[in-house]
Structure 1
Amino acid sequence: MILRIRSRDGTDRITVPDAAAATVGDLQRLIEARATVPVAAQRLSLDPALLLPAPQPPLLSDPAAPLASLPLANGSFVYLSYPPGARSAQPPPPRALTAAGSFGKKMTMDDLIARQIRVTRQEAPFCSAASFDRDSANAFQLHVSESLAFAVKRAGFLYGRVDAETKEVLVDFIYEPPQQGSSDVVQLMRDADEEARVDAIADGLGMRRVGFVFTQAVGRKASETGEYTLSNSEVVQAAQLQAEGGIPEWVTAVVKLEVGEDGSADVHFEAFQMSEVCVKLFKDGVLETEVKDSDDPRLSKMRKEVIAGGKDTMEVDNDFFLVPVKISDHQGPLSTGFPVENRGIPLPASALRSHMDRAKHLPFVKRISDFHLLLQIAAFLDVKADVPTLAACVGHQAEVPEGYRLLIDALAGQT
């Protein structure tokens, strides 16, 4: 356990090797070795009032008291007072003063809280795995590789189910919102009405939004300090959408092109969760959301000082925020033959008729078991009543009511 020992001369970090068995006396001896203040001269307290000219707070006066019996955790402050000249070695000169720098400078409560934010790696995700419908994943990556040549970023929202027992996320379709991509950023130009129709379709299918997927361009900005998995702008976007997602199992997937030593290129899917700390930093306004061209893409900037890797810093390696998720695939309940929305090419007028004609040998409910087709039809239906009802027929592979059949046939005939 690491404790931060605050005195009028600054802060020392003390590592307590066996916190479960250590006592106050052990801590005092560690302080003597690190801060060169003799045990006899030390006065310790958990109350910062110890360092103020005010009535003295309760002291940690029993050397035999176990640290485990005190309200201490990794990174906690212990306050140390001692007579002038008690240190046998003076502390190093302080850093240049900042708004929350030297003890002699007034500090706000926000400054004090910010100094206690610890950025550590999250060891395990909240979802056990992420499985992608093969056809949906393939349709997404084919567009990026064949039409966009991985030259610009592309993104989509993942929809599917979360297994209540195993916590596995099953992605059954991908919705691609209106967007504009470059080599480093994909800007979502979200359409609230269209998203409402998407969510209504998902609800009828017994699904929900479960994550976000984006591609990385082959010409993305390089970092002078090393390789990176996600850029600072990607961390911000992923944290924002995970915070909006509202479920602990939310998954962020990355699709990228990897070139082997022999020159061959393969498309790879990877899945992550943004750590709880990352999402909290975003929600609390600590994570800097304005990314400048001059910023190192490997590092995420903070608006307040945090502790990462055992030191105070205003920049955090993006890898600290990533929690890898196992990835697999499955065959979902929907087909993917209908043209995908918002790809910059107007939907052909004959798209619905052509699709229905190609699948005319199938039962009617099978012919419309395609999310992208349902999304086009949904524009002509009541989003609160008709859209979930029609999607439920698809979800249960039930008979489609005649009224919906007539409407769809009419739409196909009109195109």
Structure 2
Amino acid sequence: MMLRIRSRDGLERVSIENPQTATVSDLKRQIETQLGIPIEKQTLSSNQNLLLAKSPQDLLRFTDLSNPAGPLSALPLAHGSILFLAYDGERRVPGPAFNPAGSFGRKMTMDDLIAKQMRVTRQENPHCQLVSFDRDCANAFQHYVNDTLAFAVKRGGFMYGTVSDDGKVEVDFIYEPPQQGSEDLLLLLRNPDEEKLVDAIAVGLGMRKVGFIFTQTISQDKKDYTLSNREVLQAAEYHAESGLKEWVTAVVKLEVNEDMVADVHFEAFQMSDVCVKLFKEGWFETEIKEDHDPKLSKMKKDVVVGVKDTREVDNDFFLVVVKIFDHQGPLTSTFPIENRNTQVTMKALKNHLGRTKNLPFVKRISDFHLLLVLARVLDLNADVPALTECVQTQTPVPEGYQILIESMANTA
């Protein structure tokens, strides 16, 4: 039986004799013999997240192949199955010798030389120290995907908040642009006019765009990748567009836990510096065909991964894990959210003000999605900054604005 072993060096193959009687120990011995990695340095798992582990403590979480006497026949393995391998130390991976003149004395062009020097390696540390999500806005996003879309189609949005001097990102609201989602594709129908309003509100609140968030579907949970090639392209595009080194890409998905209960799970990454550089310089193949392996990103020219020249890069090489925390931010997320199945009208404003009439007026309008509705009809250069300043400082809203907003609600 042939097993494929995916490690930081890429995809390699190991042959197992007598798979019906072989054990985990036998498999590790073959890895040592055929790939040159000592048994004591190996950590094996069927879970692809092993490759994202950053410390020895992280490796201890992957226990499905930790019993040396465990029979391989007890695992859901078949000829060609993929297992994941982490190991300490360095090794020389066999690869084609580098001949500056190329095959049969072919002269190298400047593009060839640049390609030979473009090395793709793992980035150990993110520029973002951590990302913290406002509980209300994170719940509003995942509840809609879970309760309404049932994680059957993809959904996305842009995260807004603050970045501290030491690289801590706080997400305080999520703007969901017009979009179309399917099982594998997410198309954001960017609306420059609406995004101009969103950015103006963010500036007034002392915030900025800090990341991209999207969901993976239930069908994707059965695939052996962290991000697909399409998702890497989309995430790299928005990261490059932002110009923010602390930019965060967040993934929301449904996972089955040990008790066979489905849990909503958040993961956060930064696209590596190399990934963003490759995207900006046009190295990525942007046309993805049905027969392309979704866990590999295709390049237009050779890059160096380990000691190999290749045009296919494992997507995990481009991901830098970011720690996740949560907090209670300054805004609420109870107002209906834009660009979903139901159009948000002034009737929603009337209902919201009615539900919150016992609160101070500034508290009643301290919701980004409500402010976006107001910004569509108020003056962007005068009214929006005045209202957002009140919300940011939590100071009383001038009576004239209160009367204006209530009269807008009463027109519903």
Give TM-score, length-normalised by structure 1.
0.73
Question: Distance between the aligned counterparts of 2:377 and 2:400, measured in 1?
Answer: 13
- In structure 2, the partner of 1:206 is 206
Shift of residue 193 of structure 1? 0.6
Q: CA, structure 1 residues 338+107, in 2 after alignment: closer, same or farther (shift >3 Å)?
A: same
Gaps of 5+ in 1: 1-91
Q: Distance in 2 between matches of 1:387 and 1:336?
A: 19
Deviation at 1:93, TM superposition (A): 10
Q: Secondary structure at the match of 1:122?
A: coil
Aligned residues: 316
Instruction: Name which of 316, 328, 338 aligns with 1:341.
Output: 338
Structure 1 residues 239 and 103 mapped into 2: Cα distance closer, same or farther (>3 Å)?
farther
Q: 1: distance between equivalents of 2:212 and 2:104?
A: 44
2:105 aligned counterpart, secondary structure: coil
1:54 aligned residue: none
The correspondence of residues 90-129 of structure 1 with structure 2, limited to 5 A, is 102=103, 104-129=105-130
Q: Give distance in 2, aligned partners of 1:253 and 1:311.
A: 31
**CA-CA distance at 1:345 after TM superposition:** 1.6
- Contact residue 169 and residue 246 of structure 2 kept, 8 A: yes
Matched, 1:216 2:213: no
Gaps of 5+ in 2: 1-95
- Tell me the distance in 2 between the aligned counterparts of 1:221 and 1:131: 24
> Match of 2:192?
192
2:269 matched to which residue of 1? 272
Percent identity between matched residues is: 65
Corresponding residue to 1:231 among 228, 242, 251: 228
Report the CA distance between 1:211 and its aligned residue: 0.3
Distance 2:288 2:113 in 1: 26
For residues 261 and 202 of structure 1, the distance between their equivalents in structure 2, rounded to whole angstroms, comes to 40
Equivalent residue number for residue 295 of structure 2: 298
In structure 2, C-alpha distance between the alignment counterparts of 1:122 and 1:110, rounded to whole Å: 25
Aligned to 1:161: 162
Shift of 1:101: 5.1
What's the counterpart of residue 178 of structure 2?
178
Indicate the residue corresponding to 2:407 in structure 1.
Answer: 410
Name the amino acid aligned to 2:314.
D
CA contact (8 A) 1:125 1:325 kept: yes
Pairs within 5 Å for 1:324-335: 324-335=321-332
Kindly tell me: are residues 93 and 279 of structure 1, through their superposed partners in 2, closer, same or farther at Cα, counting changes over 3 Å? closer
Runs of 4+ in 1 over 6 A off after TM superposition: 92-95
**Matches for 1:13-412 after TM superposition, within 5 Å:** 102=103, 104-164=105-165, 166-220=166-220, 227-412=224-409
Q: Is the 8 A contact 1:180 1:186 kept in 2?
A: yes
CA gap of 1:298–1:101, structure 2 versus 1, over 3 A, is farther
1:327-376 Cα deviation digits (max 9, x unpaired): 01000000111000001222255210010011111111111000000000
SS in 2 for 1:119: coil
Shift in Å, 1:263: 2.4
CA-based RMSD of the aligned residues comes to: 1.8
SS in 1 for 2:357: coil
How far, CA to CA, are the matches of 1:325 and 1:257 in structure 2? 19
Tell me, yes or no, if the aligned pair for 1:94 and 1:102 is still in contact at 8 Å: no
> Per-residue deviation at 1:163?
1.1
**Over alpha carbons, which structure has the higher Rg?**
1
Segment of structure 1 superposing worse, 395-404 or 239-248: 395-404
Q: 1:103 to 1:112 in 2, by over 3 A?
A: farther
